[in-house]
Amino acid sequence: MKTKPQYITILLLLTIVGSAFAQKSADLSIKTEIELAVAKEQNAFKNGDCDTVLSMMDDDITFLANGNKVPSKQVIGTFCNSMPRPFKTPLSDNIEVFPLTNTSAYTIRTLEFSKDDTTNIQELVTKIWKKTDGIWKITHLHSTAKKMNAN
């Protein structure tokens, strides 16, 4: 029995399309999980629940603040506890989630705050998330703030 080339092509296309839909579904699931973890971590930070914030960070987290390495997770806790609250409402706040695998993703958050009539502060926060034993934790955090002209 001869197999016609168009049947093989159709079968191959169906396999590729099916795989793409399965990957998109997995990415959406990971994205949703990360969005929930981000919301939990951000609400804890805003409310001064620094124990929850720290519990969502890997013990060996790398943290860079404006390019300078923060030496330990304990320093992050001290920083969290010393932040004056409530925070200013940002002029803009955008979070993008990028799933990498079933157990890893990264987020990029861009915020802009008014400093005064002529200056705004733009903050860019990148976090790498890793899922271990069913729990998402931040393994890397990089935060950079810079002054910008207010428009």
* Contact of 145 with 122, CB cutoff 8 Å: yes
Residue 78 half-sphere exposure, CB side, CA atoms within 13 Å?
A: 6
Q: What is the pLDDT of residues 73-82, one digit of tens each?
A: 999 999 999 9
Distance CA 62, CA 103 (A): 18
Is 90 exceeded by the pLDDT of residue 102?
yes
DSSP 8-state secondary structure symbol assigned to residue 3: P
Is 90 exceeded by the pLDDT of residue 8?
no
pTM: 0.81
| Region 5-149: CATH code | 3.10.450.50
Domain residues of the chain, as ranges? 5-149
